[in-house]
Chains A and B, each alone.
Chain A
Amino acid sequence: MIAIIDYGVGNLFSLKSSFNAIGADITVTDNEETIRSADKIILPGVGAFSDAIAKLRATGLDKVLIDEAQKGKPVMGICLGMQMLFEKSFEYGEYDGLGLLKGNVVGMQGVLPEDLKIPHIGWNALHFKQNDCPLFKYIKENDCVYFVHSYFAEDCDESVAATTEYGKELTAAVAYKNIYGCQFHPEKSGEVGLNILRAFCETEAE
């Protein structure tokens, strides 16, 4: 069973539907025991970093997630959920993340060429940095996925699995041991997105 952590941020309808579509055994939950008994954990997230991490910590599930991740259970963060796996975010201030991955989350404003629109919204191509990344088992270089974000992870050489080109190379997917993340929305990325979720379902504990 795969647990999607429900900590009161955003709408999990599409994420749940996409796992259902690939026949995965999925539970949306805020229950510690359920999360501990799951084979894999998904950390979703939309909105502002500070708000989301505060809500996660208020549930106490941040400690459960870190504990299970350190035991080797596959964990995948999606969009803001991926950003939360890092050490720090500089979105409207400076906030500590979960620290499961090395690196920081920074804004696009002032970093991208001025003619580019922010947020980075739309379908963009993946460029693999880890060709053997388990998430890419059923997809190929240059496949497009759907992004919506204004902040991105940097200083994450250890985990970056794929980038996308938007004025500069932006971190698109991460993988380090049993910790995975997608900056884009696999649940909104058509067949390519479903294939990434399929591949995650087949990852094994460390």
Chain B
Amino acid sequence: MITKRIIPCLDVKDGRVVKGVNFLGLADVSSPVKLAEFYSSCGADELVFYDITASAEGRKLFTDILTEVASKVFIPLTVGGGINTVDDFDRVLKCGADKVSVNSGAIRNPELVREAAHKYGDQCVVLSADVKRVDGEFRVFAKGGREDTGMEAISWIKRCVGMGAGEIVVNSIDTDGVKQGFDLEMLEAVCNAVNVPVIASGGAGCIDDFTKLFKALPKVDAGLAASIFHFGEVEIKDLKQELRNNDIIVRL
């Protein structure tokens, strides 16, 4: 059967990985290329790159780096950040990305999901949703989680799947950074609403959090995290071995 995926996420600004990264034996810890090679060799199933650059020069740098990563790392690559038009899809797909993640761009213009899915296929379009509990409902937030859109999250996600989003990254703002585990309640609500792969994001603090995630919610396809991998708090090799010890199917 299909394996559960473990996905490290790298934020890239002006061509460098941000958030302090601290790896023994890795000379250049903020090089996206070096980190991507390292994660791939450790058994990461996929990599996500978020371009958090604001300037046009930085954007060019990002695509140059993406090209270099894609010429050296042979696992699926998802790219997000600053994706507002079909041309943006084109720009990163040409550099070797396999999937493109949309968030604020889809909130501003939901037709972007439909147009991109029509042009590149559903499997290429990933909807990333930042979700937070407000007044007893799940609410979608825009602009990196700073702005409440007022939209109910489950209906927003269903609408995007209906337009062709082939995969959903659910990032719980409520659990993000807390390191007390994934937001199982929120993830379950999403899994029950859609029949495309769901990637859990936000809240992982230790290996056990991933085991709990896949045990509690067999419909979740992947777990995504950033800092716990970057800081070496969780080693991907150990994580996957532990998942296998718990009868969760992974690629070793």
Contact = CB atoms under 8 A, between A and B. Distances in A.
Contacts of A144: 3, 251
Contact of A20 (B2, B5, B71): B71
A140 interface: no
Contact of B70 (A17, A117, A123, A125): A17
A74 interface: no
Given A124-B1, A193-B74, A148 B96 contact: no
Contacts of B196: 117
Interface string A143-157: 010101000000000
Given A117-B196, A121-B123, A121-B167, A188 B75 contact: yes
Nearest to B119: A47
A46 interface: yes
Given A144-B251, A189-B74, A47 B1 contact: no
B122 interface: yes
Interface string A93-137: 000000000000000000000000101111111000000000000
A194 interface: yes
A193 B196 CA distance: 25
Main secondary structure of the interface of B (DSSP, over half): loop
A20 B96 CA distance: 14
A119 B96 contact: no
A194 B74 contact: yes
B72 interface: yes
Main secondary structure of the interface of A (DSSP, over half): mixed
Size range of the chain B interface in the assembly:
20 to 34
Most B CB within 10 A of own CB, among A11, A120, A189, A191: A11
B2 A166 contact: yes
Contacts of A122: 2-3, 5, 45, 197, 221
Contacts of B76: 146, 188
A21 interface: yes
Interface in A16-42: 17-18, 20-21
B3 A123 contact: yes
Most A CB within 10 A of own CB, among B1, B3, B72, B195: B1
A180 to B, nearest CB: 19
A10 to B, nearest CB: 9
Contacts of B167: 121
Contacts of A120: 2
A187 B251 CA distance: 17
Contacts of A119: 122-123, 166
B112 interface: no
A184 to B, nearest CB: 11
A137 B125 CA distance: 35
Contacts of A13: 67, 70-71, 94-96
Most B CB within 10 A of own CB, among A120, A121, A146: A121
Interface of A: 11, 13-14, 17-18, 20-21, 46-47, 117, 119-125, 144, 146, 148, 165-166, 187-191, 193-194
Interface of B: 1-3, 5, 40, 45, 67, 70-72, 74-76, 93-96, 98, 121-123, 166-167, 195-197, 221, 251
A-B pairs, top 8 by smallest CB distance, nearest first, are A144-B251, A17-B71, A122-B2, A123-B251, A123-B3, A13-B96, A124-B2, A148-B123
